[in-house]
Structure formats: structure tokens, C-alpha cells
């Protein structure tokens, strides 16, 4: 047994990179199970939900309960449904995120003049025209949210631009930052995770590869944090960062050292 009641695990850069399972992940998952530690996967991927991760990880022998998965998409959908019911959301994002929002009864519009709320996120279809329309939608101070701040996404052969890069362009033309980021590291995201786990934050471990999302979320919420070096953060970056994890692991395989 362990002093931790639960672990919040990042996905991209912690469990997988692109389409490949990272080395040692089954060992780490097994250590958590043997210690009786509940597990919640939390990805800032704004294009997926729990069912996707169950299907993605099943071939590797990693069993995932879709109800034990949160993403920036699912957290954003729940937040908008609760705080902006019956309002039109102008989305700068992809079709998958649009589907997740609509499945949560969030009304989405592609007409900038009809926007009651603006949500910025990841889309490979981002263009000058999209940026111009987002500027129109953001007039008159309508609420402005982002799904996640990740400027890059780790893929098999390197990095690709993420939601944070698109949000930066929207911020620049609108002359203001989002009112809130809804995914990690926000308080909104931390509250969603703790509610799903029903655990004490002080007995919850956050494991991830990003200092400004995974580790920042845990630090803000009073959780213990562990950085893994299998994603975007290396020791040189860590040495100069104002955000400090409680533990540093080469990979998820070393999590047994904390249990």
C-alpha cells in the first residue's frame, strides 16, 4: 500500500509519444495497481475523450476506464455547459472538439457575429480568415476561453504547434488574454480531477512531463508532483524553471520509488 490515494497521470509525453507507448509505462501502471492507488488520466488534448484513450491503449495491455479520463475538451465542455447555458459558442477548433461540445449540449456557431462566448483551441485548419473572424467574435468583450495553453504537441518525429500557439495569435489581435484556460493547469481542471477521484489533494500525486501544466496544476492544488523526462522537459529546462516538482523521474517506470 501507499500513502497516495490516487495518481493523476498525463498522457502525451508521459504514457505515449505520438502513436508509440513509452518504455516502462506498463511497469509504472502495474506499480500503481499493486499499491492500490486509484488512477486518473488527464490529457490536455482538446480533440479526444475517454473512449479514445481506452481504444488507443488497449493494444498495449493498458486497461483504461473512460470514466477515469479527463481531457481539456471534456473539462471545457462541462464548464461551458454549466456557466454559459443556452449561449452560442464561437469555436476556433477542430471538428472533434465541436462534436464533444455538442454532445455535452453546448451550442456551437460558426458565425462570429452570433458569438456569446469564444473558445480558442487546436485546429490544423487555422488561417488568416479564421483569425479575422475570431477578432470579430471577440468584439464587445464577450467571454474568451482557451482549452489549454500547450504551444506544442509531442509527436513521433518531434513537435507540432498546439492550442497555445493559436491562442497567442487570437490574443494579439484582440488585445487581451483569455478570461480563463479551462484545461491544465487551471483551478477548473484541478477541481474537475479531484471531483472525479473523490480524494484528498494532499494524498494525490500528479505525474507529467510539462512544468507549466502538469506540475503547475499539482503545485497550485496542494498535490504532490513528479516530473517525468520522457516528454518536452529536460534537466536543463528544469534547472532554470521557477516551477519545481517534488520529484523527478526518468520515466513512469520509476514511480515505484515514490510508492
Q: Are both 6-44+184-257 and 77-181 of the same fold?
A: yes
Q: For residue range 49-83, what is the model confidence (pLDDT) as tens digits?
A: 999 999 999 998 899 999 999 999 999 999 999 99
Please report the pLDDT score of residue 17 as a whole number: 87
Please report the pLDDT score of residue 19 as a whole number: 85
Q: The dihedral of CA 100, 106, 111, 115: what is its sign?
A: negative
Q: List the chain domain ranges.
A: 6-44+184-257, 77-181
Please report the pLDDT score of residue 80 as a whole number: 98
Q: Which residues face 6 on adjacent strands?
A: 38, 204
Which residues of the chain fall short of a pLDDT of 70? 1
Angle at which helices 187-197 and 72-83 cross, to 10°: 100
Question: How far apart are alpha carbons 59 and 225 in whole angstroms?
Answer: 28
pTM comes to 0.93
Give the SS3 label for residue 166: helix
Please report the pLDDT score of residue 1 as a whole number: 60
Strand order in the sheet with 180-181: 107-109, 88-92, 117-120, 144-146, 180-181
Question: How far apart are alpha carbons 246 and 57 in whole angstroms?
Answer: 28
In the structure, how many helices (H) and strands (E) does the chain have?
9, 15
Please report the pLDDT score of residue 158 as a whole number: 81
Would you give the distance in Å from CA 209 to the centre of its chain?
12
Q: Which CATH superfamily is domain 6-44+184-257 in?
A: HAD superfamily/HAD-like (3.40.50.1000)
User: Cβ neighbours of residue 206 under 8 Å, at least 6 residues apart?
Assistant: 7, 8, 214, 215, 217, 218, 223, 224, 225, 226
Q: Which residues face 103 on adjacent strands?
A: none
Report the topology of domain 77-181.
Rossmann fold (3.40.50)
Please report the pLDDT score of residue 157 as a whole number: 80
Amino acid at each position: 500500500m501507499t500513502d497516495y490515494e490516487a495518481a493523476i497521470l498525463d498522457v502525451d509525453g508521459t504514457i505515449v509519444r505520438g502513436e508509440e507507448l513509452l518504455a516502462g509505462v506498463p511497469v509504472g501502471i502495474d506499480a500503481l495497481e499493486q499499491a492500490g492507488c486509484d488512477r486518473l488520466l488527464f490529457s490536455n488534448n482538446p480533440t479526444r475523450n475517454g473512449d479514445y484513450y481506452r481504444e488507443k491503449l488497449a493494444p498495449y495491455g493498458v486497461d483504461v476506464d473512460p470514466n477515469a479520463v479527463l481531457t481539456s475538451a471534456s473539462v471545457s465542455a462541462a464548464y461551458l455547459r454549466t456557466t454559459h447555458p443556452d449561449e452560442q459558442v464561437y469555436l476556433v477548433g477542430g471538428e472533434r472538439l465541436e462534436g464533444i461540445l455538442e454532445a455535452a449540449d453546448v451550442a456551437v456557431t460558426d458565425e462570429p457575429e452570433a458569438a456569446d462566448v469564444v473558445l480558442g483551441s487546436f485546429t490544423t485548419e487555422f488561417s488568416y480568415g479564421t483569425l479575422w473572424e475570431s477578432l470579430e467574435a471577440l468584439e464587445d468583450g464577450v467571454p474568451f476561453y482557451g482549452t489549454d495553453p500547450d504551444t506544442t504537441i509531442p509527436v513521433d518525429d518531434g513537435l507540432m504547434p498546439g492550442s497555445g500557439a493559436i491562442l497567442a495569435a487570437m490574443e494579439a489581435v484582440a488585445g487581451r488574454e483569455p478570461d480563463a484556460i479551462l484545461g491544465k493547469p487551471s483551478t477548473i481542471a484541478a477541481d474537475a480531477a479531484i471531483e472525479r477521484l473523490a480524494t484528498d489533494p494532499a494524498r494525490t500525486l500528479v505525474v507529467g512531463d510539462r512544468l507549466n501544466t502538469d506540475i503547475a496544476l499539482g503545485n497550485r492544488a496542494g498535490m504532490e508532483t513528479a516530473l517525468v523526462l520522457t516528454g518536452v522537459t529536460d534537466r536543463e529546462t528544469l534547472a532554470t524553471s521557477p516551477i519545481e516538482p517534488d520529484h523527478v523521474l526518468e520515466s513512469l517506470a520509476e514511480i515505484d520509488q515514490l510508492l
